[in-house]
Structure 1
Amino acid sequence: MSVAKVIEITASSPKSMEDAVQTGIRKTSETVKGIKGVWVNEIKAIVGDDGAISEWRVNLRITFVVS
């Protein structure tokens, strides 16, 4: 029997939604081991003065096994 924990983080990227997710997972994995899954809970785009998207933000729920 295993036990899992879920944490919620926010990550961002000027490139894309996928890059924001990857950035969040990569940074979290520096201190959290045993990551098994991620839910993209919310997506937000920041629009600059020129009307173009300048940043993507994602709220992630990351699941990892507690040892």
Structure 2
Amino acid sequence: MAILKVIEVLANSNKGWEDAAKNAVEQASKTVKNIRSVYIKEQSATVTDGKLSDYRVNVKITFEVN
């Protein structure tokens, strides 16, 4: 039986929400091993001069505990 743990991570990108999610997983994988999945809980963005300037995601990352 595998034991899984979930952490919540906030990440951002100036390219898009998909890139922000990739950044979340890449940063988490530096200290968390055995990542199995990512769930995008929320998306938001900031607006500068009438344009989207910073994309943000709140994700839940699931990983297996040894």
User: Could you tell me the TM-score, scaled by structure 1's length?
Assistant: 0.97
Q: Match of 1:35, as an amino acid?
A: I
Structure 2 letter corresponding to 1:65? E
In structure 1, the partner of 2:46 is 46
State whether structure 2 residue 65 is matched by structure 1 residue 66: yes
Structure 2 gaps, min length 5: none
3-state SS of paired residue (2:15):
coil
Q: Flag structure 1 segments of 5+ consecutive residues without an equivalent.
A: none
Following superposition, the deviation at residue 2 of structure 1 comes to: 0.6
TM normalised by structure 2 equals 0.98
Structure 1 residue ranges, 4+ long, deviating more than 3 angstroms after superposition:
none
**Among the aligned pairs, what percent are the same residue?**
45
Distance, in Å, in 2 between the alignment partners of 1:15 and 1:2 is 36
Query: Hey, what's the Cα distance between the residues in 2 that align with 1:66 and 1:24?
Result: 19
- Residue 24 of structure 2 corresponds to 24
C-alpha RMSD of matched pairs (Å): 0.4
In the alignment of these two chains, the number of paired residues is 66
